[in-house]
DNA sequence: GTGCGTATACTCGCATACGAGTATTCGTGA
DNA sequence: TCACGAATACTCGTATGCGAGTATACGCAC
């Protein structure tokens, strides 16, 4: 399951969905995608556009429909989607919708290494995050409200989801902060000590040890 | 702000935080990280380990502490962290905690292109996602409960966050499904028509048009 | 009409990512 | 004690990824 995509970059999916509507040359794809704000919904790097289009063509998902120059502009190639491309786009979309993936965010990574900083440094950092988060939420909520009149719900769903996730994150950060500030977070002192001395509290030594397959007579345990 | 990291891969941060505790050779780093489940918290590809370690050394964040062979094993290099490496790790952690990034998940990407499928196909896909999601949530909740006795809260925080986000996602999917199933999602018919014919409802033509800078006399608007 | 800033429409090269492969060692059974 | 499967400990090649750069065209001021 989850067969490997011939072109894995999500920009490729964006390209396919836009070319399905009408053949285009690459730069136009970029303009349309930008105009629709797709770069908000996917991690799109425009530097990859031409590579991705070339790869799509190589795998028979796109085909050159017309190529020539208009005026003195550099030569441009207009690409159309193939039947295989259409299938790939649909199949990919189905997979994205139906299969939840574990995709750790950078915040999760940050949380998993926050032990390296002391709790008294972590709290202000989280407070800053919360403030920025609240600002973003407000901005997005307004943008969404403004678009609600212009566009059908269908085209706003992904923004609604993003907003809901932001709000959930803010709530979670707020509750962690309350525990840190209120001192109800357990082991605050052990954490402080660990941060100062680098020593884990006794009984947790196995966290730092083992894992390496220590061979030879260097150590016994 | 957010100065470019000399080694951008998050695996590098994981390596730094583990080497801070005690010098190691690369394979041991991998074992320790795996034992701690860090590959759950970050998108870690083990194939990148040696490249990342080499880059860290090149940028002076890690240094070879000892290099030699034990028994007939291939030569191994033990790396320790430098002062710069320690600073980099702390600074990076601070940034991850304090600065919320827009990192669209693949589900968001899926939602943003779901118009290409019809609503009657989307609903079952979402139902499948919801079921898988609920299973994962249950599994993780139990794993978390089991670890709660063994480990201090500090080391469980990232799992708690991941779980909270999963639950928020499940709630959101449930509510969207309710709208689809109940027929209260607006424009269901327009969506169906669009899916069958490929035509956008009138008044939305500008969605498909413009964006490309159509030059020349091909079109006027 | 000519100079200049901005938008258009790409190209290129380098670094990195990472899957697949390889060689060594260890443990176990016969 | 020898064979063999599994785990250990890496290496390598290739396919991207993508930032920075470039060149042309167009609009507008003067």
In a domain, A81, yes or no: yes
Are residues A81 and A136 both part of a single domain? no
Are residues B75 and B91 both part of a single domain? yes
- CATH number of the domain encompassing residue A45: 1.10.10.10
Rounded average pLDDT over A191-212: 64
Are residues A162 and A86 both part of a single domain? no
The number of angstroms, rounded, from the C-alpha of A46 to the middle of its chain's C-alpha atoms is 16
Give the tens place of pLDDT for each residue, B137-168.
999 999 999 989 888 999 999 999 999 999 99
Task: Find the Å distance, CA of residue A71 to C1' of nucleotide C7.
Answer: 17
The pLDDT value given to residue B175:
98
In a domain, B179, yes or no: yes
Are residues B44 and B73 both part of a single domain? yes
Are residues A55 and A85 both part of a single domain? yes
Are residues A142 and A167 both part of a single domain? yes
* Nearest CA distance, B23 vs chain A (angstrom): 12
Give the tens place of pLDDT for each residue, A61-118.
999 987 655 544 456 789 999 999 999 999 999 999 999 999 999 999 999 999 999 9
Do B122 and B25 meet the contact criterion of CB atoms below 8 Å apart? no
Candidates A94, A154, A162; nearest CB to B115 = A154
**CB contact set of B50 (below 8 Å; sequence gap of 6+):** B26
- Kindly list the protein residues whose beta carbon lies within 7 Å of any strand D atom: A 7-9, 43, 45-48, 51-52, 55, 71-74, 212-213, 215; B 25-28, 31, 46-47, 49-51, 73-76, 215
Task: Find the Å distance, CA of residue A215 to C1' of nucleotide C29.
Answer: 24
Domain edge (last residue) among A65, A98, A131 = A98
**With a 7 Å cutoff on the CB, does A103 touch strand C?**
no
In a domain, A63, yes or no: yes
Centre a 10 Å sphere on the Cβ of residue A3 and count the other Cβ atoms it contains.
Answer: 7
Are residues A118 and A73 both part of a single domain? no
Query: Within 18-47 of chain B, which residues have Cβ less than 7 Å from strand C?
Result: 43, 45-47
In a domain, A37, yes or no: yes
Which stretches of chain A are assigned E, i.e. beta strand? Answer: 62-68, 76-81
In a domain, B219, yes or no: no
Q: Which domain holds residue A91?
A: 10-98
Mean pLDDT (chain B, rounded): 85
Do B68 and B25 meet the contact criterion of CB atoms below 8 Å apart? no
pLDDT of A198 > 50? The answer is yes
Q: Scan residues 140-179 of A and list those with Cβ closer than 8 Å to B.
A: 151-155, 157-158, 161-162, 164-166, 168-169, 172, 176
Burial of B130 (0-12, 13-18, 19+ CB in 10 A): buried
The H or E element spanning position A193 is helix A188-197
Candidates B32, B154, B158; nearest CB to A108 = B158
Centre a 10 Å sphere on the Cβ of residue A172 and count the other Cβ atoms it contains.
Answer: 18
Pairing of strands B62-68, A76-81: unpaired
Are residues A86 and A140 both part of a single domain? no
Chain A contact probe: residue of B5, B16, B112, B190 with most A CBs at under 10 A: B112
In a domain, A125, yes or no: yes
Do B55 and B13 meet the contact criterion of CB atoms below 8 Å apart? no
Chain B contact probe: residue of A73, A104, A176, A201 with most B CBs at under 10 A: A104
Do B170 and B134 meet the contact criterion of CB atoms below 8 Å apart? yes
Centre a 10 Å sphere on the Cβ of residue B11 and count the other Cβ atoms it contains.
Answer: 26
The CA–CA distances, whole Å, from B166 to A44, A46, A211 equal: 24, 30, 29
Rounded average pLDDT over B126-139: 97
The pLDDT value given to residue B71:
45
**CB contact set of B145 (below 8 Å; sequence gap of 6+):** none
- The angle at the Cα of A136, spanning A131 to A138, to the nearest 5 degrees, equals 95
The pLDDT value given to residue B5:
84
Do B145 and B137 meet the contact criterion of CB atoms below 8 Å apart? no
* Nearest CA distance, B58 vs chain A (angstrom): 23
B203 three-state secondary structure: coil
Domain edge (last residue) among B66, B98, B130 = B98
User: Beta partners for A66?
Assistant: A78
- The angle at the Cα of B34, spanning B29 to B38, to the nearest 5 degrees, equals 100
Nucleotides in chain D near protein beta carbons (<7 Å): 7-13, 16-20, 24-26
Do B191 and B115 meet the contact criterion of CB atoms below 8 Å apart? yes
- pLDDT band of residue A211 (cuts 50, 70, 90) is very low
Are residues B121 and B46 both part of a single domain? no
How many domains does chain B fold into? Answer: 2
Nucleotides in chain C near protein beta carbons (<7 Å): 7-13, 16-20, 24-26
Are residues B87 and B129 both part of a single domain? no
Minimal-distance CA residue of chain A relative to B15: A113
Give the tens place of pLDDT for each residue, B62-86.
998 875 545 444 467 889 999 999 9
* Nearest CA distance, A191 vs chain B (angstrom): 8
DSSP state of B217: G
Are residues B172 and B115 both part of a single domain? yes
pLDDT of A192 > 50? The answer is yes
* Alpha-carbon span A167 to A85, nearest angstrom: 36
In a domain, A196, yes or no: no
* Alpha-carbon span B221 to A161, nearest angstrom: 35
Domain edge (last residue) among A43, A65, A98 = A98
The H or E element spanning position B67 is strand B62-68
In a domain, B4, yes or no: no
Give the tens place of pLDDT for each residue, B14-29.
999 999 988 998 988 9
| Cβ within 8 Å, pair B108-A42 | yes
Residues of B with Cβ-Cβ distance to A42 under 8 angstroms? 104, 108-109, 112
Are residues A33 and A67 both part of a single domain? yes
Give the tens place of pLDDT for each residue, B79-119.
999 999 999 999 999 999 999 999 999 999 999 999 999 99
């Amino acid at each position: 399951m989850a067969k490997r995509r011939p072109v894995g970059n999500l920009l490729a999916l964006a390209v396919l969905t836009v070319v399905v509507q009408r053949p285009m040359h690459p730069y136009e794809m970029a303009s349309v995608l930008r105009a629709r704000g797709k770069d908000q919904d996917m991690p799109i790097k425009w530097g990859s556009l031409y590579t991705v289009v070339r790869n799509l063509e190589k795998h028979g998902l796109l085909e050159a429909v017309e190529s020539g120059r208009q005026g003195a502009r550099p030569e441009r190639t207009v690409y159309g989607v193939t039947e295989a491309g259409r299938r790939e786009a649909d199949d990919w979309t189905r997979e994205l919708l139906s299969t939840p993936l574990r995709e750790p965010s950078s915040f999760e990574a940050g949380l998993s290494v926050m032990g390296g900083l002391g709790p008294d440094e972590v709290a202000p950092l989280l407070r800053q995050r919360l403030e920025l988060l609240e600002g973003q939420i407000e901005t997005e909520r307004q943008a969404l409200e403004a678009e609600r009149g212009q566009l059908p719900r269908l085209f706003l769903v992904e923004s609604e989801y993003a907003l809901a996730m932001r709000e959930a994150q803010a709530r979670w950060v707020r509750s962690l902060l309350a525990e840190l500030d209120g001192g109800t977070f357990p082991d605050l002192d052990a954490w402080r000590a660990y941060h100062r001395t680098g020593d884990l509290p006794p009984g947790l030594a196995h966290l730092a040890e083992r894992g390496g397959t220590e061979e030879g007579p260097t150590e016994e345990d």
